[in-house]
Every structure is written in C-alpha cells, then in structure tokens.
C-alpha cells in the first residue's frame, strides 16, 4: 500500500497541496485558541463575550470562504485550461462581492455593536464586553474581505505556500499583540477583550500590506483594484450561477451554527464558556480533514479544467479514502487533547462537566463533518456543482437541526447535554443524500468556456 501511494501522481500532488493548507488552518485555529487561552486569565465573562461576538466573524468567514471557493471553482479549471485573463476577471468579480459584505459588517460593528450582541445574549456584562470588542473588529472585517479573495485565487493555481506565509505573518503578529494588549506588556494598557480585537485588526492590516507586496513581485496573479471594474457578462453570469449557491450554502450553514450558539447562549454562561473551549479543540481536530477537502477541490478542479474527467472521477475516490482516515485522526486528536484541556480550563464545576462531555461528543462528530465537507465543499464544487450543497444544507440545518435544537431547549427544556447532543446529529442526518449524490457522478462537469473575450463580451 505504501508503495502504491508513493508512486501515485494523485497522492503526490495532493500531499504537496495539503501540507501548506493544513498549516494555514492550524495557524487560524491557533489564533482562536490563543484568544481563549489568554482571556482565560482575564475571566470567564470575557471568554464568553468574545466567543459570542466572534460568531459574526464566523459568519463573515463563511461568506468569504463561499466567495473564495466559488472563485476557486472557476479559477482552478481555467488555470488547468491555461486562461490567466479569465482568472483576473474572476478575481475582480469576487472582490466586488466580498467588499460589499465587508462594508456591511464593518458598519454594523462600528455603529450598532450592542444590538448585534443582543441577538446572542441578554446578559448586560457580556453585551458591554462584546460591543467593545466588535467596534475594534470593524477594521479587520474590511481587510479580511480583500485578503481572503486574493489568497483563494493564489491557492486555486497551486501557490499555497504564499498564502501560508501570509497566514504565518498574521498569526505571529496577532499572538504578539494579543499578549501586549491583554496583559499590558511594554507599557501598553491592559485592555482585555478590547485588546484581542485591536490585535486582530492590526494583524489583518499587516497581512493586507503583505499581500500587496506579494502582488507587486508576482508575474501572473496580481492584487489590483482595477480588476473590480473589468466587465465580462459570461464570466459574471457563471460566477453568479456557480458561486452564489456556494456562498448561500456557507451562509446558511454558518448562520445555523450561530443559531446553535444562540441556543447554547440562552442555556447559561456555563454552557457558553464550555462551548468556547470545545470550538477551539474541534477546530484543531478538523484541520487535517478540511485541508484535505480544500486541496482535493483545487487538484480535481485543475484536472477537470484539462478535460480529464475519468481521471477526476478516480481522484475523487482516492480523496474519499483519505478523508475517512483524516476524520478518524481528527477524533483521536480531540480525545488526546481532553486531559490537557480539562486540566487547563479555569471554569466552574458545572462548566467543566459540560466541557468533558461536549468534547467526547466531538470525537465522533468530526467524522461526519469531514465526509460532508470533502464531498460538498471539495469534490462537488470542483466539478461546478454548488447547488446540491446549498439545497442539502438548507434542508438539513433549517428543517431538521435548528428546529430540533429550539424544540429541545425551549419547549421540552431538556438538560444542556441532551440539547448539545441533538444539535450534533446534523452532519450524520445528511450522509445518505450526500453519498448518494457522489455515487451518481452528476457533480462532474467541465465549466470552462471558449471565446470569452470577443469584443461583444467586453
């Protein structure tokens, strides 16, 4: 088996892509965990408030992820075809959408942060801390909308090491500034939750500046705002047709997860604090399998753009085998992390009880998430099929999981752990649909076009 994996071109190419993407995901998870670890010294209220306020960043991330993967769907196939001009146009289209969302969220965070916090909690202390955090986060939202699109385009053409370097820069600076502003190092004031937001915004500014430096020296993919104004009706139509279902898929999924937080938020601060640690640990557990999904989507997209459809079908089967393995590894990682997390967390006895059993539930939950993410966000989107995921998650999350959670928490008034367990059945409920669609092969399509830049299409 080892010999066949070593000599297989698909495995060789995917492992070269996976490592940098896993490092990026690891850095992203490390930033979130650093926030929780450092705020643990400030107090449980700060952890809870930042956890709730961060739900908006989670939603915005999924917006950018949806736009980025939508752009990747097209860019990866056009790169396989060798059409760099089309990639520039797609980058401009994606930037127009991402900047619109960035401005909306930044404006709300700056002007009505208290109203944003009221959605998640009615605790005055949490609202005050969270509102202060959101105001300072508004700057990071603007920078994020630009960098995520540019880095997604770079990844789509295989330049994952560059985006990894950008994430490393942002991570290092964020950790350093977190320590400075939370603990008041080097004469800086102790700002607590505010300090986390300031550190994040400054690191995002630095990351954006670094992207412009990379763009200046790049020979093919540039970060240029003039791309925003390039018009191409065919590519815009394709982007809307293919990307908006992906965007809608990620938004309804992330908003549903935010509703999970709303449900947990109304079950008490102990449940919120425990879930804050669980989210961090789960993020580490899913790093490898989500990285495999991203790498597989890029590689399959390039192959499909070359019109090698049977090779793509075979590659998808190999990707699924890797996903099952990485999902199992993710569960083991969470299980192995439990003693460390339980010994470190400084929470109430009730919150510690919740934390223990929430972590146990997530040891198997990651397998469901791994398979669905690889197929929906990786394999299906590589073949230009984003609509299935949108419909599947809309039904699963909003007709099954969210109503079930609301019913369990507020009507039946079940214990906290039963509510959490029921919320964590969502990934397994959609397995039959997702696997059936994968086996049908209807997701496999070459979405590139000829004669894109005729005079009539400018």
Element (H, E) at 208: helix 193-217
Structure tokens at 138: 């508004």
Residue 125: pLDDT band (50, 70, 90) is: confident
Residue 382 phi, psi (nearest 5): -60, -35
Q: Contact, 341 vs 359, CB < 8 A?
A: yes
* pTM score of the predicted model: 0.76
Least confidently predicted of 51-55, 284-288, 349-353, 398-402: 51-55
CB 350 within 8 A of CB 206: no
- Could you give the count of Cα atoms lying within 13 Å of 122 in the half-sphere of its Cβ? 3
Cβ of 90: how many Cβ atoms within 10 Å? Answer: 28
Write down the pLDDT at residue 458. Answer: 44
Name the nearest CA neighbour of 99 among 152, 72, 63.
63
| Percent of the chain topping pLDDT 70 | 94
Question: In this model, does residue 402 exceed pLDDT 90?
Answer: yes
What share of the chain in percent tops pLDDT 90? 34
CA–CA separation, 374 and 366 (whole Å): 12
For residue 445, what are its two tokens?
């399509």
Residue of higher predicted confidence among 89 and 68: 89
Q: How far is it, in rounded angstroms, from Cα 189 to Cα 51?
A: 22
Q: 438-441 long-range contacts, Cβ below 8 Å, gap at least 24?
A: 438/316, 438/320, 438/375, 438/379, 438/380, 441/313
Nearest of 129, 70, 60, 127 to residue 94 by alpha carbon:
70
Which one, of 68, 103, 122, 456, lies nearest residue 297 by Cα? 68
**Residues whose CB falls within 8 Å of the CB of residue 388, separated by 6 or more in sequence, listed in order:** 376, 380, 437, 443
Inform me whether the pLDDT recorded for 453 exceeds 80: no
- Predicted local confidence at residue 457, as pLDDT: 46
For the ranges 144-158, 204-218, 251-265, 428-442, the lowest mean pLDDT is seen at 251-265
Cα distance between residue 149 and residue 98, in whole Å: 8
Contacts of 445 (CB under 8 A, 6+ apart): 304, 383, 384, 385
Please answer whether residues 393 and 430 qualify as being in contact, where contact means their C-beta atoms are separated by less than 8 angstroms.
yes
**Positive or negative CA dihedral for 279, 283, 289, 290?**
positive
Q: Contact, 368 vs 427, CB < 8 A?
A: yes
Pick the most confident of 34-38, 271-275, 389-393: 389-393
CA atoms of 211 and 22, how far apart (whole Å): 20
Higher pLDDT, 48 or 282: 282
d(CA 239, CA 248): 13
Q: How far is CA 302 from CA 86, 159, 387, in A?
A: 14, 13, 20
Q: Helix 269-285 vs helix 44-81: angle between axes, to the nearest 10 degrees?
A: 30
User: Nearest CA to 333 among 367, 282, 374, 377?
Assistant: 282
CB 312 within 8 A of CB 382: yes
Statement: residue 394 has pLDDT above 50: yes
Q: Which two tokens stand for residue 276?
A: 């804050």
Average pLDDT rounded to a whole number, residues 436-453 = 87
Interval 189-196 mean pLDDT: 79
Residue 29: per-residue pLDDT: 61
Rg over CA atoms, the chain = 22
pLDDT surpasses 90 at 290: no
In the predicted model, what is the mean pLDDT of residues 306-330? 91
């Amino acid at each position: 088996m080892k010999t066949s994996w070593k000599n297989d071109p698909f495995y060789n190419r995917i492992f070269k892509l996976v490592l940098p993407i896993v490092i990026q995901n690891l850095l992203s998870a490390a930033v979130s965990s650093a926030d929780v670890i450092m705020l643990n010294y400030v107090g449980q209220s700060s952890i809870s408030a930042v956890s709730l306020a961060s739900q908006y960043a989670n939603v915005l991330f999924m917006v950018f992820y949806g736009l980025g993967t939508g752009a990747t769907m097209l860019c990866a196939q056009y790169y396989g075809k060798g059409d760099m001009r089309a990639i520039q146009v797609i980058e401009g289209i994606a930037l127009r959408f991402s900047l619109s969302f960035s401005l909306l969220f930044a404006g709300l965070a700056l002007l009505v942060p208290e109203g944003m916090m009221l959605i998640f909690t009615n605790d005055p202390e949490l609202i005050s801390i969270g509102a202060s955090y959101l105001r300072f986060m508004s700057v990071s939202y603007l920078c994020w909308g630009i960098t995520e699109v540019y880095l997604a385009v770079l990844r789509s053409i295989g330049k994952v090491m560059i985006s990894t370097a950008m994430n490393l820069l942002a991570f290092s600076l964020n950790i350093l500034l977190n320590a400075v502003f939370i603990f008041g190092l080097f004469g800086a004031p102790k700002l607590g939750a505010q300090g986390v937001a300031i550190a994040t915004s400054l690191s995002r500014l630095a990351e954006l500046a670094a992207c412009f430096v990379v763009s200046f020296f790049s020979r093919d993919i540039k970060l240029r705002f003039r791309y925003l104004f390039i018009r191409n009706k065919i590519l815009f139509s394709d982007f809307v047709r293919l990307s908006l279902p992906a965007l809608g898929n990620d938004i309804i999924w992330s908003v549903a997860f935010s509703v999970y937080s709303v449900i947990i938020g109304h079950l008490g601060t102990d449940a919120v604090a425990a879930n804050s640690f669980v989210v961090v640990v789960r993020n580490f557990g899913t790093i490898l399998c989500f990285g495999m999904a991203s790498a597989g989507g890029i590689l399959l997209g390039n192959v499909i753009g070359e019109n090698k459809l049977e090779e793509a079908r075979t590659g998808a089967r190999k990707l699924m085998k890797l996903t099952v393995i990485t999902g199992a590894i993710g569960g083991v990682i969470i299980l192995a992390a439990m003693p460390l997390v339980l010994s470190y967390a400084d929470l109430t006895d009730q919150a510690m009880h919740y934390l223990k059993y929430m972590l146990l539930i997530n040891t198997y939950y990651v397998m469901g998430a791994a398979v669905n993410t690889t197929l929906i966000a990786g394999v299906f989107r590589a073949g230009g099929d984003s609509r299935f995921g949108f419909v599947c998650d809309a039904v699963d999350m909003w007709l099954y999981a969210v109503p079930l959670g609301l019913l369990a928490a507020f009507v039946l008034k079940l214990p906290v752990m039963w509510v959490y367990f029921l919320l964590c059945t969502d990934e397994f409920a959609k397995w039959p649909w997702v696997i059936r669609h994968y086996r049908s092969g209807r997701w496999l399509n070459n979405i590139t076009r000829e004669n894109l830049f005729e005079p009539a299409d400018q």
